[in-house]
Amino acid sequence: MSQDLANKLPETDSEKLTLILTSVQALRPIWQQVVADILQLQEGQRALSTEVRAMRRDIDHRFGLLYDKLVDIEIDHRDIHDRVTRLELNTNPPNAKT
Using one digit for the tens of pLDDT, what is the confidence trace for 49-92?
Answer: 999 999 999 999 999 999 999 999 999 999 999 999 999 999 87
Assign 1 a pLDDT band (cuts: 50, 70, 90).
very low
- Whether residue 98 lies inside any domain: the answer is no
User: Total structural domains in the chain?
Assistant: 1
**Structural domain contains residue 2:** no
Would the pTM of this model clear 0.75, i.e. be above it?
Answer: no
- The answer to whether residue 27 is domain-embedded is yes
Q: Is 94 helix (H, G, I), strand (E, B) or coil?
A: coil
For residue 4, being part of any structural domain is answered with: no
Secondary structure of 15-35 as H, E, C letters: HHHHHHHHHHHHHHHHHHHHH
40 belongs to a structural domain: yes
Would residue 67 count as lying in a domain?
yes
Four-CA torsion 45, 51, 57, 59, nearest 10 degrees: -110
For 57-69, write each residue's pLDDT tens digit.
999 999 999 999 9
Is residue 96 in a domain?
Answer: no
Which domain, by its residues, includes 27? Answer: 13-91
